[in-house]
Amino acid sequence: MLREAFAHPAVDGVMLWGFWELFMSRDNAHLVNAEGDINEAGNRYLDLKQQWLTRAHGHVDEQGQFEFRGFHGSYEVEVVTLSKKVTKTFVVDQGVEPLVISINF
């Protein structure tokens, strides 16, 4: 169900009302048991969350461009040259159109 919610354009986020077994009102709804150990559901949630993170590393091409495909959300990019390091943040909104970000040195 989390995959469908994440992909739906009307969904802005998912809220977990709890995660620890000792503070859950429903049986078998926890992600962490009473001893603080992550259970199978918790591990699946963490694995899925890792799949939704976008990490891209590489070099710019001859035109000074770097392309990647990412999920919507907030990003921070760091460009490093021999003499300078520039950091820029930007947001990718939901949609299918390419987003062009310019970073000036």
Q: Report pLDDT for 88.
A: 93
| Residues spanned by the domain of 16 | 2-51
- Rounded to two decimals, what is the model's pTM? 0.66
Is residue 7 domain-shared with residue 45, that is, in the same domain? yes
Q: Report pLDDT for 23.
A: 93
Is residue 47 domain-shared with residue 65, that is, in the same domain? no
Is residue 61 domain-shared with residue 41, that is, in the same domain? no
Model confidence at 105: pLDDT above 80: no
Is residue 84 domain-shared with residue 64, that is, in the same domain? yes
4-49: per-residue pLDDT in tens? 988 888 888 888 889 999 999 999 999 999 999 999 999 999 999 9
Is residue 37 domain-shared with residue 67, that is, in the same domain? no
Is residue 105 domain-shared with residue 61, that is, in the same domain? yes
Is residue 31 domain-shared with residue 6, that is, in the same domain? yes
Q: Report pLDDT for 67.
A: 92
Residue 73, sorted as left (phi over 0), alpha (psi -120 to 50) or beta, turns out to be: left
Is residue 43 domain-shared with residue 66, that is, in the same domain? no
Model confidence at 85: pLDDT above 90: yes
The distance of Cα 32 from the centroid of its chain, to the nearest Å, equals 21
* Residue 92 CB neighbours (<10 A): 14
Q: Report pLDDT for 86.
A: 92
68-84: per-residue pLDDT in tens? 988 888 999 999 989 99
Q: Report pLDDT for 64.
A: 87
Q: How many domains does the chain fold into?
A: 2
Model confidence at 87: pLDDT above 90: yes
